[in-house]
Structure 1
Amino acid sequence: MTTHPQPVTISVAAAEFGRDMEQGYATIAALLEESRNRGSQLLVLPEACLGGYLPSLGGGDETEESRQRRLKALPPALELDGPEIRRVIDMAGDTVITFGFCEKDGDTRYNAAVTVDGSGILGSYRKVHQPLGENLCYDAGDSYSAFDTPIGRMGMQICYDKGFPEAARELALDGAEIVASISAWPTARTATVENMEEDRWKQRFDIYDRARALENQIIWVAANQAGTFGSLRFVCSAKIVGPGGEILAGTGVEPGLATATVDVAALIGAARGGGMYNLRDRRPSVYRTITKEPIHA
């Protein structure tokens, strides 16, 4: 585990990104400037920053017409080593930035995340868990791995991944101290409410963030899209969660930037030395069905 010896200032965004790439770069630049003004060394941006997300999510109730409309309205596919990613690298300087995009690899598309600074790409990730017909638009990734950065060892997840405890545990066991969980997480599609604070999908989003941080005793940084795109209305709710499950900073249901200065080593050390040793006290030999195909799902 590579621990940054000094406190780290982290900013995380709830911000709106659509198909207009130039507007996306302008939004990134504005958030980067604000994060620098706050002294941040890490800026975490939402899923699908470059080119936006899908205009809708399907499911068993989706009509063929809406499915075809969604498949014709995909975001631009960008190569990991292409000029679009390089443009963010050139903006980054000494700041570590995590952001999402649609990755092109040959004829295949992935919902992807990348962490960069001015030196280049520090880590990349392809979304593993796909909700509500997202598999019709993207192929799935097949691995989780942590990576070293100037501000400590990090891992990445995208949106629906946070609903799977095994995914965050994989990163924690690989030494991740900070996990950037980037999302385009919308409100519920049914039983909708006017007050977003009462939305059940918003509440799930918050529960997952706090649970993943607490059970792995890590710093959890959750970015999300804001505003609306297509039929989706996003819950904002960007936050930084400490290893005890406490929210250190958050945007609530409004767009904006949340910032906290975190002594990563001290907080994680206190959490893991305070009577609950969630990683040390695991008993893998007992968890016999974790990696098997589901029987009762």
Structure 2
Amino acid sequence: MTKLAAVSANFTRDLEQNYALIADLVGEANARGVDYLALPEAAIGGYLSSLGNHGDTVRTAQQSLPPAITLDGPEITRVQQIVGDLVVAIGFCELAEDGRTRYNAAAVLDGGTIYGSYRKVHQPLGEGMSYSAGSGYRVFDTPVGRIGLQICYDKAFPEAARIMALQGAQVITSLSAWPAARTAAAANLQEDRWTYRFNLFDTARALDNQVFWVASNQSGTFGSLRYVGNAKIVDPGGNILATTHLGSGMAVADVDIDETFRAMRAGMFHLRDRRPDVYGPVTEAATAAAWQAFEHA
């Protein structure tokens, strides 16, 4: 059996507060026998303070950016010292090799090894003023299995998870700083339309690809953003095994990865039953004329 865990918690610009919170969460995970722990997007240094507000410009958006760090820098090393033998996924703002370009990034690591890292591909409104976009997806071999990483808005694009499933991902980890709706937000945040979408994407992507889905998220508030929490573990049948709902906390579930895959894929096997020969328009860089023809077909 493997014990998976996903965190809902509030991370800010205060790095020492972040490290202390990570240490508390790692302590709880170890006490509960967790093998793999997913921390949220931007767990080192916090996320952006706003997204796509009227009047935002590149200059104003960059006035309150999280610290940009490198994979071989002291911040990641500090996290590795904290996590020890526990395998952890964590989000941060990555500084590229040119010393200027920033990426919304994540890595999966333990105290001795960085197993892989990822730069967010799909950017919501406003994020492109602060980060450059990544360009691909990979799956990483770790002590708990083959793990794929994606960040927040990526979950709205089924192609992102599908690519990793085709690469043999057993667990796809979706690290988020997913907020409530910015207009007409529901009085009960659990019933907010953006909370609904967050949860629906998680269950759909797990079922689409028949993989374990580990979804972490920020909680509380930061700047103008109010986060929806709802960290969760979803099995390959789209069943939510554990969730934090709105609050801060840790969703934990014991899973048998190999046996679950055998059972779920014994009949319907979505990857086997694909028809890529008819999917060409999904990936073609179609011209405007081609799209017009497609819409009127």
Indicate the residue corresponding to 1:211 in structure 2: 204
Q: Which runs of 5+ in 1 are unaligned?
A: 1-6
Q: What SS does structure 2 have at the residue aligned with 1:99? A: strand
Counterpart of 2:133? 140
- Name whichever of 136-145 and 284-293 sits farther off: 284-293
Partner amino acid, structure 2, of 1:39: G
With the length of structure 2 as denominator, give the TM-score of the two structures.
0.94
Matches of 1:37 and 1:255 in 2, distance apart? 18
Q: Does 1:53 align with 2:47?
A: yes
Q: Distance in 2 between matches of 1:156 and 1:47?
A: 11
Which residue of the other structure, out of 98, 101, 107, is the alignment partner of 2:89?
A: 98
Partner of 2:32: 38
What is the aligned counterpart of 1:197 among 171, 190, 196? 190
CA shift, 1:67, in A, is 5.8
SS of 1:72's equivalent in the other structure is helix
1:4 corresponds to which residue?
none
Structure 2 partner of 1:63: 55
| Partners of 2:182 and 2:284 in 1: CA distance | 31
Question: Could you tell me the percent identity over the aligned residues?
Answer: 55
Q: Which residue is 2:270 aligned to?
A: 278
Letter aligned with residue 171 of structure 2: I
Q: Which residue of 1 aligns with 2:18?
A: 24
Aligned length: 287
One-letter amino acid of the counterpart of residue 237, structure 2: G
Partner deviation per Cα, 1:94-133 (whole Å, 9 max, x = no partner): 1100000000012110000001012220110000000011
Please list the CA deviations of residues 155-210 of structure 1 after superposition, one character each: whole Å capped at 9, or x if unmatched: 00000000000000000000000011000000001111110111000000000000
Q: Give, in whole Å, the separation in 1 of the partners of 2:222 and 2:124.
A: 17
> Take 1:195 and 1:68, find their aligned partners in 2: how far apart are those partners?
35
SS, match of residue 220 in structure 1? strand
- Describe how 1:71-150 pairs up with structure 2 within 5 A: 71-105=62-96, 106-150=99-143
The letter for the 2-side match of 1:104 is L
Q: Which 5+ residue runs of structure 2 have no aligned equivalent? A: none
Q: Match for residue 288 of structure 1?
A: 280
User: Scaled by the length of structure 1, what TM-score is found?
Assistant: 0.94
> Which one-letter code corresponds to 1:96 in the other structure?
V
Compute the RMSD of aligned alpha carbons.
1.2
1:226 aligns with 2:224: no
Is contact 2:61–2:129 with CA below 8 Å preserved after alignment? Answer: no
1:183 aligns with 2:173: no
In 1, the alpha carbon distance for the partners of 2:83 and 2:256 equals: 23
- Pairing 1:165–2:158 present: yes
